[in-house]
Amino acid sequence: RGAMTVGESAKLLHKDASEVIKKLITMGVMATINQELDIETVLLLAAEFGVEVEVKIAVEDDRFETVEEVDDEADLKSRPPVVTIMGHVDHGKTTLLDAIRSSNVSSGEAGGITQHIGAYQVENNGKKITFLDTPGHEAFTAMRARGSQITDIAIIVVAADDGVMPQTVEAINHAKAAELPIIVAVNKIDKPGSDPDKVKQELTEYGLVPEEWGGDTIFVNVSAKQKMGLEELLEMILLVAEMNEYKANPDKRARAAVIEAELDKGRGPVARVLVQHGTLRVGDAFVAGNCFGRIRAMVNDKGRRVKEAGPSTPIEITGLTEVPQAGDPFMVFEDERKARSIAEKRSITQRQSEMGSNVRVTLDDLFQHI
Ligand code: GDP
Ligand code: MG
């Protein structure tokens, strides 16, 4: 469904419907008064008429479904949970991520361990979990600022020898603001003098009360360094995932989020993305931020080339025209021409707003709320 009809756009732009229809014809769009137009077209119309428009789209607003089909409940399939590890500096986030990954790497994939992809998947009892490593929290912050949610579950790591610290509180606040289920991993329990119960006590002040004290927060004692408690942590993640039934439609054009991107000397621009819904395939035409391209190759977190990637899969892609930014939404379009024209419109509107033009809303703004 479109953003608004031709008649509604005419009203918005203070023009006669007939003028709008004529203008649309010059833009190559044949439309009747009741026909629905997508947001891009409405924005282009406004620009053509030199009218300043302001479009506000709420995060929960589904108007951007103009570029994709609305899912039928029956088309939704279970997908792996996407987990982010947060917490105070030096409390063991990186060590924990590495420990989970290395204890899950089978000997045949030993080479994969060196592959840095910004995210990885592990399997526990045949069920997958995607861990998001947010380097410098850059992508994470950018995505949060854009109101897009790519994480399902937050693991808050608290070192048992240090207790609740400022960034612990920050992490809790972020997770709560995003309404994410929280699992507390009390880390470094191998350290002499560590006191997991003291951490539990401190966290009750922030509304995180363990089940044995009558609350509903899951706590797991771990030692990332000694690889203790990891199995239980994975089980708890799968338990939370089971309760929440994370789903996505794999049978549509893919949408993903850029986790990191860089210019590789040999391969050109490379982006690591997390597929959110649909299935990404080699050959797909896409827009990522202001860049577009066609997927040349995809490499998974084990360092293997793959031809397709479904929901919750982290994947590295090549075939971009430029380097997108961490947090940029990534969308597949029906063909490269469409992708190119959207990318171009977006860079034009971005340039205009950088130049202080009157066009206050850019397509980029719109995409940010997808
Ligand atoms: P981050 O800043 O949260 O990513 O923390 P790191 O993973 O870099 O860990 C900070 C320091 O704590 C490193 O020296 C780790 O070796 C150490 N560390 C992490 N986990 C444990 C643990 O379970 N036990 C002990 N004793 N040390 C740990
Ligand atoms: Mg770290």
Residues 6+ apart with CB under 8 A from 303: 109, 111, 112, 114, 115
Tokens at 260, concatenated: 């990191």
Residues 6+ apart with CB under 8 A from 242: none
Does residue 187 have its Cβ closer than 6 Å to ligand 1?
Answer: yes
The predicted model scores a pTM of: 0.77
ipTM: 0.99
Encode pLDDT of 167-222 as tens digits. 999 889 888 988 899 999 999 999 998 999 999 999 999 999 999 999 999 999 99
Position 343: which residue type?
Answer: A
Distance 205 CA to ligand 2 centre (A): 26
How are strands ordered across the β-sheet holding 82-87? Answer: 119-124, 127-132, 82-87, 153-159, 182-187, 218-221
Does residue 320 have its Cβ closer than 6 Å to ligand 1?
Answer: no
Does residue 347 have its Cβ closer than 6 Å to ligand 1?
Answer: no
For residues 130 and 314, give the distance between their C-alpha atoms in angstroms, rounded to a whole number.
Answer: 8
Instruction: Report whether 88 belongs to an annotated binding site.
Output: yes
Does residue 158 have its Cβ closer than 6 Å to ligand 1?
Answer: no
Ligand nearest to the CA of 87: 1
Distance 159 CA to ligand 1 centre (A): 8
Give me the pLDDT at residue 116, please: 61
Give me the pLDDT at residue 334, please: 75
Ligand nearest to the CA of 135: 2
Contact 138, 319 (CB under 8 A): no
Q: How far is CA 145 from the centre of its chain?
A: 12
Closest-CA residue, ligand 1 atom 22, reads 188
Instruction: Report whether 56 belongs to an annotated binding site.
Output: no
Give me the pLDDT at residue 328, please: 80
Give a three-class secondary structure readout of the chain. Answer: CCCEEHHHHHHHCCCCHHHHHHHHHHCCCCCCCCCEECHHHHHHHHHHHCCCCCCCCCCCCCHHHHHCCCCCHHHCEECCCEEEEEECCCCCHHHHHHHHHHHHCCHHHHHHHHCCCCEEEEEECCEEEEEECCHHHHHHHHHHHCCCCCCCEEEEEEECCCCCCHHHHHHHHHHHHCCCCEEEEEECCCCCCCCHHHHHHHHHCCCCCEHHHCCCEEEEECECCCCECHHHHHHHHHHHHHHHCCEECCCCECEEEEEEEEEECCCEEEEEEEEEECEEECCCEEEECCEEEEEEEEEECCCCEECEECCCCEEEEEEECCCCCCCCEEEEECCHHHHHHHHHHHHHHHHHHHCCCCCCCCHHHHHHCC
Instruction: Report whether 87 belongs to an annotated binding site.
Output: yes
CA nearest 258: which of 358, 350, 330, 353? 330
Give me the pLDDT at residue 365, please: 47
Contact 319, 293 (CB under 8 A): yes
For the chain, which ranges sit under pLDDT 50? 1, 56-69, 107, 110-114, 135-136, 357-370
Which value, in Å, is the radius of gyration of the alpha carbons in the chain? 23
Distance 100 CA to ligand 1 centre (A): 13
Does residue 223 have its Cβ closer than 6 Å to ligand 1?
Answer: yes
Tokens at 147, concatenated: 């109101």
Encode pLDDT of 4-49 as tens digits. 789 988 888 888 999 999 999 888 888 899 988 887 788 788 878 8
Distance 94 CA to ligand 2 centre (A): 4
Instruction: Report whether 282 belongs to an annotated binding site.
Output: no
Give me the pLDDT at residue 66, please: 31
Does residue 225 have its Cβ closer than 6 Å to ligand 1?
Answer: yes
For residues 204 and 209, give the distance between their C-alpha atoms in angstroms, rounded to a whole number.
Answer: 5
Instruction: Report whether 62 belongs to an annotated binding site.
Output: no
Does residue 144 have its Cβ closer than 6 Å to ligand 1?
Answer: no
Give me the pLDDT at residue 353, please: 58
Q: Which residue out of 161, 162, 225 has the highest number of ligand 1 atoms within 8 Å of its CB and is therefore the one to mutate? A: 225
Instruction: Report whether 112 belongs to an annotated binding site.
Output: no
For residues 77 and 245, give the distance between their C-alpha atoms in angstroms, rounded to a whole number.
Answer: 9
